[in-house]
């Protein structure tokens, strides 16, 4: 933590309820990102590597795009696609919005987010509070109207609405996919949040298969009917929990290969702790996250993309994920502790010291 942010964190944020602190920081990022001159100056100074859209050192060719830097923002921070410009200004190489559900929903009762200061972690049971897929899709459509907005690599993470019973999960996910596919660079089917009852059971391959098939079909149908100026097949990934047994990680990898899925995002928060309700994130996840990514890469071979997430604090953690077989990486929790320059610090280090990785997708 740099000292100016340390003052802000200890003097202001730490004294506030964590969710209120998140909302305050979030609205500052959103507002700054909506002021074009400010945005361009900040981004030019702290994240010059984002200007290398044609592919500079450390950039990654994926999803038919050039991702300008390998460290992006994980799902859950910008649930409603409100601050994509501002988050890019801060130096994330790509932004995953969501989790978005087909129906708007308030999420669980508060409090639902806690700091775990001793491990620099966060625990949450937010429960997919979001404005719904139609609202997020409208925001992404607006973002795509400008050249600068189209240049940003944006993933859309979708989950099941709480009111939808598991037997109708496939149709619920498909509805979100239909709305978001035309505007997203990739879609993530989230079946790994611990905070929607029964959601993680959908990771079992017999439940997952119909969901992924329905989402694939809905996304293809939407891209065939909505004119975005690009005739394309949106890449589809699935996001899994660190608490899956190794055999279940293998089973998801096998299903991904069988269905021709484009990749896997690993990992979500863990319920393997005794700190209270909700999923834990941050540094305690790093070891298992790396293990799951290495296992996936071994099983998947070189084809499908892996996005590694869990416990990343510094550039070396990203390097460890890339060595384990990830193509891209993401983070959330250490943003809270490290402050606004966190992503640009990591990506500057990585784009300076770019090297080859297991995937060979690097420039
Ligand atoms: C407050 C909070 C909310 C989250 N919400 C979501 C979410 O809506 N969807 C999702 O896929 N992951 C969500 N996550 C999980 C993160 O995307 C990420 O997988 C996890 O936190 C591990 O990364 P980290 O250690 O860098 O935080 C959330 C995490 C936190 C801390």
- Separation of CA 255 from chain center: 21
pLDDT for the residue 6? 85
Element containing residue 180 per DSSP (H, E): helix 169-180
pLDDT for the residue 361? 63
Domain 3-352, what fold?
TIM Barrel (3.20.20)
Q: How far is the CA of 126 from the centre of ligand 1 (A)?
A: 10
Q: How far is the CA of 76 from the centre of ligand 1 (A)?
A: 5
If phi > 0 it is left, if psi is from -120 to 50 it is alpha, else beta; for residue 251 that is: alpha
pLDDT for the residue 357? 45
What DSSP letter does each residue of 320-361 carry, written as one string? HHHHHT-SEEEESHHHHHH-TTHHHHHHHHHHHS----TT--
How far, in Å, CA of 338 to CA of 13, rounded? Answer: 12
Rg, Å, the chain Cα set: 19
What does residue 75 show for φ and ψ, rounded to 5 degrees? Answer: -60, 150
Do the beta carbons of residue 338 and residue 313 sit within 8 Å? yes
pLDDT for the residue 8? 84
pLDDT for the residue 227? 64
Mutate to test the pocket of ligand 1, among 110, 269, 318 (most ligand atoms within 8 A of CB): 269
Query: Which atom of ligand 1 is nearest to 192's Cα?
Result: 11
pLDDT for the residue 230? 57
Query: Which atom of ligand 1 is nearest to 123's Cα?
Result: 31
Q: Where are the domains of the chain?
A: 3-352
Do the beta carbons of residue 155 and residue 94 sit within 8 Å? yes
Mutate to test the pocket of ligand 1, among 76, 277, 320, 321 (most ligand atoms within 8 A of CB): 76
pTM comes to 0.95
How far, in Å, CA of 183 to CA of 139, rounded? Answer: 9
Would you call 316 helix, strand, or coil by DSSP? helix
pLDDT for the residue 231? 61
Nearest CA to ligand 1 atom 8: 76
For the annotated binding site for FMN, the residues are 99, 157, 190, 239, 267, 282, 311, 332-333
pLDDT for the residue 91? 97
pLDDT for the residue 270? 97
Q: How far is the CA of 73 from the centre of ligand 1 (A)?
A: 10
For 158-179, give one letter per residue: b (16+ CB within 10 A) or e: bbbbbebeeeebbebbbbbbbb
As a whole number of Å, the end-to-end CA separation of the chain is 30
Does residue 344 carry a catalytic annotation? no
pLDDT for the residue 54? 63
309 lines ligand 1 (CB under 6 A): yes
What DSSP letter does each residue of 63-89 carry, written as one string? TTEEESSSEEEPTTSSTTS--HHHHHH
Nearest CA to ligand 1 atom 11: 75
pLDDT in tens, the chain (363 residues): 777 888 888 888 888 999 999 999 999 999 999 999 999 999 999 999 998 666 677 899 999 899 999 999 999 999 999 999 999 999 999 999 999 999 999 999 999 999 999 999 999 999 999 999 999 999 999 999 999 999 999 999 999 999 999 999 999 999 999 999 999 999 999 998 898 888 888 878 889 999 999 999 999 999 888 766 556 899 999 999 999 999 999 999 999 999 999 999 999 999 999 999 999 999 999 999 999 999 999 999 999 999 999 999 999 999 999 999 999 999 999 999 999 999 999 999 999 865 544 355 655
């Amino acid at each position: 933590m740099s000292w100016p942010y340390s003052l802000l964190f200890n003097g202001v944020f730490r004294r506030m309820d964590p969710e209120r602190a998140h909302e305050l920081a979030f609205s500052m990022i959103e507002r700054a990102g909506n002021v074009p001159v400010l945005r361009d100056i900040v981004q030019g100074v702290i994240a010059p590597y984002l200007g290398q859209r044609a592919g500079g050192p450390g950039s990654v060719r994926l999803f038919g795009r050039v991702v300008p830097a390998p460290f992006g923002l994980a799902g859950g921070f910008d649930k409603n696609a409100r601050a994509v410009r501002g988050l890019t200004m801060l130096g994330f190489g790509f932004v995953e919005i969501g989790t978005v559900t087909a129906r708007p929903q308030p999420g669980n009762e508060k409090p639902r987010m806690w700091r775990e200061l001793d491990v620099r972690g966060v625990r949450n049971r937010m429960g997919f509070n979001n404005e719904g897929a139609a609202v997020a899709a409208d925001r992404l459509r607006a973002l795509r109207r400008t050249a600068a907005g189209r240049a940003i690599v944006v993933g859309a993470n979708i989950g099941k609405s709480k009111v939808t019973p598991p037997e109708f999960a496939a149709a619920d996910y498909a509805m979100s996919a239909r709305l978001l596919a035309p505007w997203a660079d990739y879609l993530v089917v989230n079946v790994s949040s611990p905070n929607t009852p029964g959601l993680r059971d959908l990771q079992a391959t017999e439940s997952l298969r119909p969901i992924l098939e329905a989402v694939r079909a809905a996304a293809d149908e939407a891209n065939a009917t909505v004119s975005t100026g690009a005739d394309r097949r949106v890449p589809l990934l699935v996001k899994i929990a660190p608490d899956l047994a190794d055999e279940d990680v293998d089973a998801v990898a096998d299903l991904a290969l069988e269905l021709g899925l484009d990749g896997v995002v690993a990992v979500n928060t863990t319920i393997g702790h005794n700190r209270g309700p909700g999923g834990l994130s941050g540094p305690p996840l790093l070891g298992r996250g790396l293990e799951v990514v290495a296992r996936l890469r071994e099983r998947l071979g070189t084809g499908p993309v892996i996005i590694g997430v869990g416990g990343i604090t510094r550039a070396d953690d990203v390097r460890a994920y890339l060595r384990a077989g990830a193509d891209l990486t993401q983070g959330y929790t250490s943003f809270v502790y490290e402050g606004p320059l966190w992503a640009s610090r990591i990506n500057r280090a990585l784009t300076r010291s770019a090297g080859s990785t297991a995937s060979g997708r690097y420039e």
